[in-house]
C-alpha cells in the first residue's frame, strides 16, 4: 500500500509530539485529564522534622511537583508498622505541614501490617498509627497513616469546563493496557491547582498506565 508524503509527515509529526509530551497536552485540552502517579511519601510538621533531623533543620528541595508550591525533597526516611518490617527510603515532600502524614498504598499496608483508611490528604483523624525513623530521632505517630483517595486537582476554570464543583465525585474511564473505570473520584478545586488526577502505584500498575497518561470523565 502506497503512503503519501503528506501522510508520512503527519505520522512523524505525531510521534515527535508524543515524545515531547505535546500530544498528551493537546488531548487534555480536548477534555482529557493527565495522570500523576503518587508513590509512598511523607509530609512532616516542623516539630517532627526537627525530631528526625535535628533542631533548626530545613528541608532540601530537589524537584518541583506538578502542583504549585509542592516539591520533592532530598530527605528520605524509614517507616515501620506492627510487622516490624521497615520500608526504607520513603521520600519527604515539602513544604512542612501542621501535622505529619504518611501516604502509602494498599500493597505497602500488607508489608507494614497497618490498616490505613482511604482518605483525602490532610484528613488524618483516627487514621492508622505508624513509626517514622530518621537520622537523629524517631517519631511515633498515633494517627497519620492513610491511603490517599483518587482525586483530581482543578483550577476554577477547569471546574467550570467540566461542570463540577469542589468536593464533587465523578467516574473516570481509563483506556490503558487494562481498560477499567474508577468510581467516586474526588474533585478538588483551588485557584493554584493545575489539572491532574492523582492515583497511587497500585492503581496505576493495575491499569497499566503511568505519568502523563490521559483519562476521561464519564459523561
Same-domain check for residues 213 and 140: no
Same-domain check for residues 203 and 113: no
Same-domain check for residues 45 and 139: yes
Same-domain check for residues 138 and 56: yes
Count of CB atoms situated within 10 Å of the CB of 212: 16
- Which pLDDT does position 3 carry in this prediction? 57
Residue 14 lies in a domain: no
Same-domain check for residues 142 and 154: no
- Which pLDDT does position 17 carry in this prediction? 39
Same-domain check for residues 119 and 200: no
Same-domain check for residues 141 and 154: no
- Which pLDDT does position 219 carry in this prediction? 74
Residue 15 lies in a domain: no
Residue 6 lies in a domain: no
Residue after which a domain boundary falls, among 118, 147, 176: 147
Residue after which a domain boundary falls, among 147, 170, 204: 147
Same-domain check for residues 164 and 100: no
Total residue length of the chain: 219
Tell me the C-alpha to C-alpha distance, in Å, between residue 154 and each of 87, 103, 115, 120. Answer: 32, 21, 30, 15
Residue 102: name the closest of 119, 85, 82, 110 by CA: 119
CATH of the domain at 160: 2.40.40.20
Provide the whole-model pTM.
0.82
Q: Which domain holds residue 73?
A: 40-147
Residue after which a domain boundary falls, among 147, 182, 205: 147
Same-domain check for residues 131 and 182: no
The pLDDT averaged over each successive group of 10 residues in the chain (219 residues) is 52 43 41 94 98 98 95 98 97 98 98 97 96 98 98 97 96 94 97 97 96 94
Same-domain check for residues 197 and 123: no
Q: Which residues pair with 72 in a beta bridge?
A: 63, 93
Going 58 to 59 to 62 to 64, the CA torsion angle's sign is: negative
Residue 9 lies in a domain: no
Same-domain check for residues 154 and 123: no
Residue 12 lies in a domain: no
Name residue, grid cell 503511568.
Answer: 210
Same-domain check for residues 128 and 167: no
Q: How many domains does the chain have?
A: 2
Amino acid at each position: 500500500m502506497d503512503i503519501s508524503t503528506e501522510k508520512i509527515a503527519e505520522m512523524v509529526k505525531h510521534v515527535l509530539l508524543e515524545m515531547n509530551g505535546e500530544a498528551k497536552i493537546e488531548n487534555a485540552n480536548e477534555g482529557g485529564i493527565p495522570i500523576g502517579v503518587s508513590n509512598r511519601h511523607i509530609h512532616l510538621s516542623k516539630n517532627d522534622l526537627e525530631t528526625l533531623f535535628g533542631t533548626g533543620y530545613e528541608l532540601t528541595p530537589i524537584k518541583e511537583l506538578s502542583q504549585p508550591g509542592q516539591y520533592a525533597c532530598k530527605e528520605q526516611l524509614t517507616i515501620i508498622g506492627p510487622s516490624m518490617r521497615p520500608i526504607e527510603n520513603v521520600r519527604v515532600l515539602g513544604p512542612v505541614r501542621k501535622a505529619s502524614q504518611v501516604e502509602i498504598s494498599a500493597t505497602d499496608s500488607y508489608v507494614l501490617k497497618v490498616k490505613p483508611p482511604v482518605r483525602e490528604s490532610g484528613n488524618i483523624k483516627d487514621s492508622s498509627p505508624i513509626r517514622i525513623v530518621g537520622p537523629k530521632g524517631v517519631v511515633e505517630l498515633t494517627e497519620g497513616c492513610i491511603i490517599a483517595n483518587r482525586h483530581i486537582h482543578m483550577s476554577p476554570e477547569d471546574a467550570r469546563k467540566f461542570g463540577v464543583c469542589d468536593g464533587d465525585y465523578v467516574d473516570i474511564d481509563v483506556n490503558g493496557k487494562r481498560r477499567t473505570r474508577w468510581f467516586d473520584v474526588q474533585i478538588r478545586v483551588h485557584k493554584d491547582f493545575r489539572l491532574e488526577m492523582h492515583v497511587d502505584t497500585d492503581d496505576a500498575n493495575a491499569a497499566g498506565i503511568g505519568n502523563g497518561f490521559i483519562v476521561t470523565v464519564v459523561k
